[in-house]
Chains A and B, each alone.
Chain A
Amino acid sequence: MRSHVMRSTAPLTLLVLALCCSVPAWGQDKQYRFTLDFGHRWVFNQGGNQDLYRSQLDYGDGPKLFGADFFMAFPEGSNRWADRIELRMNNWGGEPYNTAQAVISKNGVYELRFNYLNAQYFNSIPNFANPFFEEGNFQSQHRSDISQRIFNLEFTLWPGRSLSPYFAYNRSIRQGPIRTTLRNDGDEFLIGEDAQSSSDAIRGGIRWKREKFSLMLEQGVRWYDDKSSFFASGFQEGNSTRPVLGEDLFLDGYSGQNDFEGTIPFSSGIITWEPLRQLAVRAKVSYSLADMDPAFSDLASGNFFQFPGLAIFYNQGGRQDLGQVKRPSLNGDFSAEWQPADWLLIQERFNIRRLDVSGSLATNLSFAGITSLLGPVEDPFNLSELADTFLANDLESQEIVATVFITPRFSIRGGHRFESKSLILEDPSSGTARTEFGWDRNSLILGGAFQFNSANRLSVDFELGRTDQPPIFRTDSVDFQRLRILGKLSPRPSLIISGNASLFDNRNDQPDIDYEFDSHGYGLQVLWAPFDRFSWTAEYERTELNSDLLVVIPQNLSRVPSTYVERGDYGSAYLSLGLYRNVQLDLGYSFWDTVGAFPQQFHRPMARLEVPLNQKLATYVQWNSYDYQERTTLFPQQYQAQMLVAGFRLTLGNGF
């Protein structure tokens, strides 16, 4: 990848330097801007756990194209093909995330948008999915090093006009090696996976608007395909080394294959209508019908135990699964807005969501090399199973809110929301009969907003929800309070003060749950720029999360409280200082300090010096340091990395 990027960026760099020396003579009416940010990163003083470093940062060294930005604009009508052309690329050259965007448009005629993202996703966290962490083994049993590439293309014809058709294509590809686990009858073994899945979606529709009416209709289809394969070779004892009834369990060979294919057609429609100046209504309906045909097969060899059920040891086991699953889903949103007077706005909203999932699966299990514990069993032995599953989830909510504008800049509002949620589960094959859950909840909605001026405001949102019915899931928000305050104040042009506070408390007093959850957050940010080339930003955020919940200890069926505490402090400060001859110095520092269940610290100082060489070219040096430290008592993990980037930023053109 790196050499490929060097090959592709080197000619570009030469081209840009050539442009720097001889800028083409553009007419006064045409405008363009071209910026290129490129350089070299050195990573040094790396220490600690490299898997953790790669899971969180994964910045590498080498030549990089940090950003390229090309913009060209023509006065309306002066170019036959386009009014605007925008191209952007970010973080190319072996970076964990590469992006590219393009927008080409001609006013009122067409607009073409393209987006590309390549995320190199590495994840191997020492204490995650690792039953041997407490023995000092830091190899997570779930490790992935996959590439996720996403393309989006959208073409709109006659944008902004009364009738505008559009077409879009989306492709997402996920591939790469994964280390995962195979649970096979009483033990778990490490296996490899070669992930290969893709999703392709096309959609098209029209937007039609009149003076008081608009309609959008969209039809699309998504295809999903998963051809991932699984493998293992060689002898493995598994996570459990304890013999079962005197026999050691082990795996010495495994292969498996997914073969899923799915088709998901979907439709959406939005209608807006203003029958009166004071009345606006809107309806949105979306429907999709996902249809998946999963197929899976695998074959394992070793020594395994099957219990309960057959009560056998066996040396070879395999399975073939063929299934079908359908998921019709409907979302509807209807709202009306009535403003009988300038000072009063009444909004009513009705929302429904219906989702059914029905699946069926035929499984054939095969066993060979059998030693039976409870009597003679045919060897080899085949077993067929059928499963039918059903899940239905309905959600309805209705909300009415009245907003009173005490002045044009000061509003208060109050309202009520009713929600009804239900869940039906059915899995006869696993012994789960049809079970139904549901609750109705009433919530009080209060709030207000005050706009000091166009840039400064204060807003408050408060909700209080109650129900006397049991929750569907133990931690559902059936009895909650939520408060959020956001404010921004600029007492003078050089000073901006922003603050936020959020509180979310949730209770469930059911005796065998006794759930208490409190999440609070507070923050303050100050931006001070008293001089033209001096600015200082400081921010502090504090978060507190406390959760108490009764859980059952399976061995003695006693109930004990499970307590989780997480308190975090985030701080950052950045100074930007203009020095002699437009030399710019930036200094910054940020930290996360967390105490509670998973105490840790994360420090990130940085410094940057940028020196303009002329009006088009600037050079810069940037230093970043990352220091992550876990503060757990058992095998705390950490990493450190220092990075130095030396680069150039080139800006050409006369564009705005």
Chain B
Amino acid sequence: MNKRILATTVLFLSTFAWGLQQQGSQPPVPPSVPEKVGDEMCLVCHDTYTSVKRTPHASVECEACHGAGSLHVEAGGGMDLSFKNKDFSWVKDQCQDCHRQAPHLSNFSRSAHARAMVSCTSCHQAHPEQARAGMLTQAQKDLCASCHQASVAQFRKPFHHPVMEGAMTCSSCHTPHSEGQRRVAFGTEIECASCHTDKKGPFVFEHASLEVNGCEICHQPHGSVNPKMLTRSQVRLVCLRCHSASAGTAGSQPFAFHDLRSPRFRECTVCHRAIHGSNVSSSFLR
């Protein structure tokens, strides 16, 4: 592990050094203060961007995002007002001028996407060529897949949530603009509850590990090679992770004397069928 960490760190720093070398000089500071010219002037040249008028940005002036354009017009064009190739912080600040106060976007700076310098325009198009939900640059599953290939591979496992089939999207469960990256269904209930309503209780007899550690303690939510998307190939291997005698840990008492060599006792959920919690049986028998 340590050698791997060292190797990846060296690789990381080397790439940084190379990247720094590749980085060109910053654009020169304009000699004078530009003034606004209005949308009509912008559309004289940029007539392909009339599509913005059919988006939620319809009422936003071009120069509200791109900045005043008089110098750009005088110079006959140029990339100085374009969002392309602008750094993460610049793009984020421009978009957050308006979107900062949207409650679901207000935590973006603490999100994993912000930490990784994924700027707004990496995923969204302010004036899209094709109408898409959320003004995304691609269909959501393709967009997320372009960085999160490991998740795509998980969704291709034999037992998986139907994201690639189109029944769900990544944002059904995840919040890309927020710390924690988990959507909340109802108040304090996590998103799993919006579909799996029968698993969330509350129950008279709660399965404590589910309440404390969440569904992922037993299941792999993207996909698994194991039945029921379990973290282990057989039920008893999942259960024994907690339910074996160890001093001072939850779940190790009372001790069960099942003969695990018998197939009857290897499939714990044959008897303990209400394993997500029960209103009748303290050992989840029904």
- Stretch in B33-41, B64-72, B206-214 with 4+ CB within 8 Å of A: B206-214
CA distance A554 to B148 in the complex (A): 43
CB < 8 Å: which of A294, A323, A391, A597 contacts B233? A597
Determine the chain A residues whose CB is within 8 A of the CB of B84 once the complex forms.
454
Contact A150 to B195, CB < 8 A, known contacts A323-B279, A475-B241: yes
**Is the Cβ of B56 less than 8 Å from the Cβ of A160?**
yes
**Is the Cβ of B153 less than 8 Å from the Cβ of A141?**
no
Contact A272 to B106, CB < 8 A, known contacts A267-B187, A294-B279: yes
Q: Decide if A112 is an interface residue (CB 8 Å cutoff).
A: no
**Is the Cβ of B102 less than 8 Å from the Cβ of A207?**
yes
Contact A483 to B257, CB < 8 A, known contacts A240-B264, A393-B212, A452-B19: no
CA distance A498 to B167 in the complex (A): 26
Q: Which of A196-216 contact B (CB under 8 A)?
A: 197-199, 201, 203, 207, 209-211, 213-216
Contact A411 to B117, CB < 8 A, known contacts A84-B54, A539-B149: yes
Contact A71 to B271, CB < 8 A, known contacts A457-B117, A475-B241, A600-B225: no
Contact A288 to B280, CB < 8 A, known contacts A451-B88, A500-B150: no
**Is the Cβ of A554 less than 8 Å from the Cβ of B270?**
no
Contacts across chains A and B counted by CB atoms under 8 Å: 446
Determine the chain B residues whose CB is within 8 A of the CB of A421 once the complex forms.
212
**Is the Cβ of B242 less than 8 Å from the Cβ of A475?**
yes
Determine the chain B residues whose CB is within 8 A of the CB of A444 once the complex forms.
none
CA distance A268 to B146 in the complex (A): 34
Contact A423 to B250, CB < 8 A, known contacts A357-B202, A501-B8: yes
CA distance A487 to B226 in the complex (A): 29
CB < 8 Å: which of B20, B233, B251 contacts A598? B233
- Stretch in A14-22, A429-437, A577-585, A641-649 with 4+ CB within 8 Å of B: A429-437
Determine the chain A residues whose CB is within 8 A of the CB of B106 once the complex forms.
214, 270, 272, 282
B259-274 near A? 1/0 per residue, CB < 8 Å: 1101110110111110
Interface size grouping (class) on chain B: 35 or more
Contact A450 to B15, CB < 8 A, known contacts A103-B133, A148-B195: yes
Q: Decide if A249 is an interface residue (CB 8 Å cutoff).
A: no
Q: Decide if A509 is an interface residue (CB 8 Å cutoff).
A: no
**Is the Cβ of B202 less than 8 Å from the Cβ of A326?**
yes
Determine the chain A residues whose CB is within 8 A of the CB of B255 once the complex forms.
552, 554
**Is the Cβ of A656 less than 8 Å from the Cβ of B280?**
no
CA distance A595 to B148 in the complex (A): 24
Could you say which of A319, A323, A472 has the most chain B C-beta atoms within 10 Å of its C-beta?
A: A472
Contact A131 to B264, CB < 8 A, known contacts A357-B202, A470-B249, A473-B209: yes
Determine the chain A residues whose CB is within 8 A of the CB of B211 once the complex forms.
355, 357, 391, 393
Q: How far is the CB of B7 from chain A (nearest CB, A)?
A: 10
Residue of B nearest to A520 (CB): B4
Residue of A nearest to B211 (CB): A393
CA distance A410 to B21 in the complex (A): 12
Residue of A nearest to B256 (CB): A554
Q: Decide if B95 is an interface residue (CB 8 Å cutoff).
A: no
**Is the Cβ of B201 less than 8 Å from the Cβ of A292?**
yes
**Is the Cβ of A449 less than 8 Å from the Cβ of B115?**
yes
**Is the Cβ of B58 less than 8 Å from the Cβ of A361?**
no
Q: Decide if A229 is an interface residue (CB 8 Å cutoff).
A: no
Determine the chain B residues whose CB is within 8 A of the CB of A150 once the complex forms.
194-195
**Is the Cβ of A107 less than 8 Å from the Cβ of B56?**
yes
Determine the chain B residues whose CB is within 8 A of the CB of A270 once the complex forms.
103, 106
**Is the Cβ of A327 less than 8 Å from the Cβ of B201?**
yes
- Stretch in A3-11, A121-129, A376-384, A606-614 with 4+ CB within 8 Å of B: A121-129
Q: Decide if B47 is an interface residue (CB 8 Å cutoff).
A: no
**Is the Cβ of B244 less than 8 Å from the Cβ of A550?**
yes
**Is the Cβ of A656 less than 8 Å from the Cβ of B54?**
yes
CB < 8 Å: which of A172, A331, A460, A512 contacts B188? A331
CA distance A527 to B271 in the complex (A): 50
CA distance A476 to B217 in the complex (A): 9
CA distance A240 to B283 in the complex (A): 20
A345-379 near B? 1/0 per residue, CB < 8 Å: 10101000101010111010000000000000000
Q: Which of A74-132 contact B (CB under 8 A)?
A: 74-76, 83-84, 86, 90-91, 96-97, 99, 101, 103, 105, 107-108, 117, 119, 123, 125, 127-132
Determine the chain B residues whose CB is within 8 A of the CB of A71 once the complex forms.
131
Q: How far is the CB of A267 from chain B (nearest CB, A)?
A: 7
Residue of B nearest to A602 (CB): B158
CA distance A78 to B121 in the complex (A): 29
Q: Decide if A408 is an interface residue (CB 8 Å cutoff).
A: yes
- Stretch in A174-182, A305-313, A615-623 with 4+ CB within 8 Å of B: A174-182
CB < 8 Å: which of B20, B103, B130 contacts A407? B20
**Is the Cβ of A134 less than 8 Å from the Cβ of B131?**
no
**Is the Cβ of A268 less than 8 Å from the Cβ of B187?**
yes
CA distance A500 to B147 in the complex (A): 8
CA distance A222 to B84 in the complex (A): 45
Could you say which of A86, A292, A460 has the most chain B C-beta atoms within 10 Å of its C-beta?
A: A460
Q: Decide if B86 is an interface residue (CB 8 Å cutoff).
A: yes
**Is the Cβ of A108 less than 8 Å from the Cβ of B59?**
yes
Q: Decide if A513 is an interface residue (CB 8 Å cutoff).
A: yes
Describe B's contact surface by its main secondary structure.
Answer: loop
Q: Decide if B129 is an interface residue (CB 8 Å cutoff).
A: yes
CA distance A30 to B211 in the complex (A): 52
State the interface size on chain A (CB cutoff 8 A). 201
CA distance A155 to B58 in the complex (A): 20
**Is the Cβ of B117 less than 8 Å from the Cβ of A512?**
no
CB < 8 Å: which of B118, B166, B197, B235 contacts A99? B166
Determine the chain A residues whose CB is within 8 A of the CB of B89 once the complex forms.
405, 408
Determine the chain A residues whose CB is within 8 A of the CB of B267 once the complex forms.
128-131, 141
**Is the Cβ of A141 less than 8 Å from the Cβ of B88?**
no
Q: How far is the CB of A518 from chain B (nearest CB, A)?
A: 8
**Is the Cβ of A554 less than 8 Å from the Cβ of B257?**
yes
CB < 8 Å: which of A96, A210, A423 contacts B101? A210
Determine the chain A residues whose CB is within 8 A of the CB of B15 once the complex forms.
450, 458, 487
Q: Decide if B116 is an interface residue (CB 8 Å cutoff).
A: yes
**Is the Cβ of B228 less than 8 Å from the Cβ of A266?**
no
A431-473 near B? 1/0 per residue, CB < 8 Å: 1100101000000000111111111011111100000001111
Q: Decide if B181 is an interface residue (CB 8 Å cutoff).
A: no
CB < 8 Å: which of B83, B112, B115, B212 contacts A472? B212
Q: Decide if B286 is an interface residue (CB 8 Å cutoff).
A: yes
Residue of B nearest to A152 (CB): B194
Q: Decide if A398 is an interface residue (CB 8 Å cutoff).
A: no
Residue of B nearest to A472 (CB): B250
**Is the Cβ of A471 less than 8 Å from the Cβ of B205?**
no
**Is the Cβ of B263 less than 8 Å from the Cβ of A133?**
yes
Q: Decide if A510 is an interface residue (CB 8 Å cutoff).
A: yes
CA distance A355 to B210 in the complex (A): 12
CB < 8 Å: which of A272, A288, A454, A551 contacts B186? A288
A43-84 near B? 1/0 per residue, CB < 8 Å: 000000000000110000000000000010111100000011
**Is the Cβ of A216 less than 8 Å from the Cβ of B279?**
no
CA distance A316 to B213 in the complex (A): 40
**Is the Cβ of B12 less than 8 Å from the Cβ of A448?**
yes
CA distance A90 to B162 in the complex (A): 13
CA distance A403 to B114 in the complex (A): 11
Contact A430 to B282, CB < 8 A, known contacts A170-B194, A457-B118: yes
Determine the chain A residues whose CB is within 8 A of the CB of B244 once the complex forms.
474, 550-552
CB < 8 Å: which of A133, A389, A488 contacts B146? A488
**Is the Cβ of A458 less than 8 Å from the Cβ of B12?**
yes
Q: Decide if B247 is an interface residue (CB 8 Å cutoff).
A: yes
Residue of A nearest to B5 (CB): A483
B95-113 near A? 1/0 per residue, CB < 8 Å: 0000011110011011010
Known contacts A280-B100, A503-B1; 17 additional CB pairs below 8 A are A97-B166, A129-B269, A199-B197, A214-B106, A288-B189, A298-B286, A323-B204, A357-B202, A389-B204, A403-B115, A454-B86, A459-B117, A474-B242, A496-B146, A498-B147, A562-B240, A566-B225
| Selected A-B contacts with CB under 8 Å, 5 pairs | A150-B194, A287-B187, A459-B117, A473-B250, A523-B149
* Interface pairs A-B: 5 shortest CB-CB: A266-B187, A359-B204, A459-B116, A97-B167, A598-B233
